[in-house]
């Protein structure tokens, strides 16, 4: 004997419920569906049409069953969503860049070609992004399904962030002027007095052949950077024009410094010979130190670029 639509519908609802509640839900549905069908047939509607309309209005039996079982039909619901999103953004901002930098540094130290380095960095970055998203989401899915609420701090007015003011921009301007002055003093001190003393000899760290043109270019970049920060202060906010200029300055500095480092023209050869070669440090160690220095220069440039654009986005939202 073929089951009726009502029997099939009730079976689809109760099959996913805990055994202890199936009989009660089945009895409740049988009564409510029968009453609804009877009310429609009393108006002259055909019984089969009434049955189909009543079941259609009840909706998907899976949704109805979830309501009876108090079971969420989403991975992360409103209670945990903002916490999940904030944590995911924080981890994405920290873990993938650290992993990518570590892989790039390791590949560079092993002497891998540039194509291999880029390929490894991209593949590791994508893998880490996916893994972070999967495991963070899995944790919150478990919290959602177990009904946990004690592990997430409740929001209160004490957690409201402070309003950003022009004080932060003023601090940036003061820091830029101070760094410009210190940088100029260091450059001239290194050239005429030497920053390091080895065996009672004062040696410059930077290659003296960088004077005058390369050092002049560096001073121009430093002055331009300070002027940019001062312009941001008087403007009162970062903009796309300022962020683009900041990006250009960072790229010029990083590419020039790394280029000079690659061809062995950035550091003073005499300083390298006395400080490392004469002290028994082999060429591999010198190459590793150069790679680490280059990674630091690139990392500083990338951070400066990202910081400028983040400030631009922040100020545009205000």
Whole-prediction pTM: 0.56
Directed axis angle between helix 47-58 and helix 19-41, to 10°?
130
Q: How confident is the model at residue 282 (pLDDT cuts 50, 70, 90)?
A: low
Residue 208 has pLDDT above 80, yes or no: yes
Tell me, yes or no, whether 161 lies in a domain.
no
Residues 122 and 179 in one domain: no
| Domain total of the chain | 3
Tell me: do 150 and 173 sit in the same domain.
Answer: no
pLDDT digits (tens, 9 = 90+) for 112-124: 777 787 788 888 8
Decide if 224 contacts 251 (C-beta within 8 A).
Answer: no
With respect to residue 160, please indicate whether it lies within any of the assigned structural domains: no
Same domain, 181 and 267: yes
Which tens digits make up the pLDDT trace of 39-61? 888 888 888 888 888 888 888 88
- Whether 159 is in a domain gets the answer no
Structural domain for 201, as ranges: 167-317
% of the chain beyond a pLDDT of 70: 86
274 with 304, same domain: the answer is: yes
Residues 243 and 102 reside in one and the same domain:
no
Domain match, 131 and 45 both: no
């Amino acid at each position: 004997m073929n089951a009726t639509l009502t029997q099939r519908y009730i079976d689809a609802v109760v099959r996913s419920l805990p055994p202890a509640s199936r009989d009660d839900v089945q009895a409740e549905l049988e009564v409510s569906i029968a009453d609804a069908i009877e009310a429609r047939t009393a108006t002259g509607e055909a019984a089969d049409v009434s049955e189909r309309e009543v079941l259609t209005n009840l909706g998907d039996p899976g949704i109805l069953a979830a309501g009876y079982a108090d079971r969420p039909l989403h991975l992360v619901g409103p209670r945990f969503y903002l916490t999940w999103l904030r944590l995911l953004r924080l981890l994405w901002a920290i873990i993938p860049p650290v992993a990518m930098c570590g892989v790039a540094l390791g590949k560079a130290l092993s002497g891998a070609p540039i194509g291999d380095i880029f390929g490894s960095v991209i593949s590791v970055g994508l893998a880490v992004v996916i893994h972070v998203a999967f495991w963070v989401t899995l944790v919150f899915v478990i919290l959602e399904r177990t009904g946990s609420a004690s592990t997430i701090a409740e929001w209160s007015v004490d957690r409201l962030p402070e309003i950003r003011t022009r004080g932060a921009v003023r601090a940036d301007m003061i820091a830029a002027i101070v760094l410009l002055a210190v940088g100029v003093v260091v450059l001239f001190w290194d050239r005429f007095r030497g920053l390091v003393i080895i065996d009672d000899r004062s040696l410059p760290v930077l290659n003296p052949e960088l004077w005058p043109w390369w050092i002049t270019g560096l001073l121009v970049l430093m002055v331009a950077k300070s002027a940019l920060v001062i312009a941001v202060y008087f403007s009162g906010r970062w903009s796309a024009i300022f962020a683009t200029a900041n990006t250009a300055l960072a790229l010029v500095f990083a590419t020039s410094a790394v280029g000079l480092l690659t061809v062995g023209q950035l550091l003073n050869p005499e300083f390298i010979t006395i400080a490392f070669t004469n002290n028994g440090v082999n060429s591999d160690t010198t190459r590793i130190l150069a790679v680490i220095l280059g990674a630091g220069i690139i990392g500083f440039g990338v951070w400066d670029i990202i910081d400028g654009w983040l400030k631009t986005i922040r100020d545009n939202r205000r």
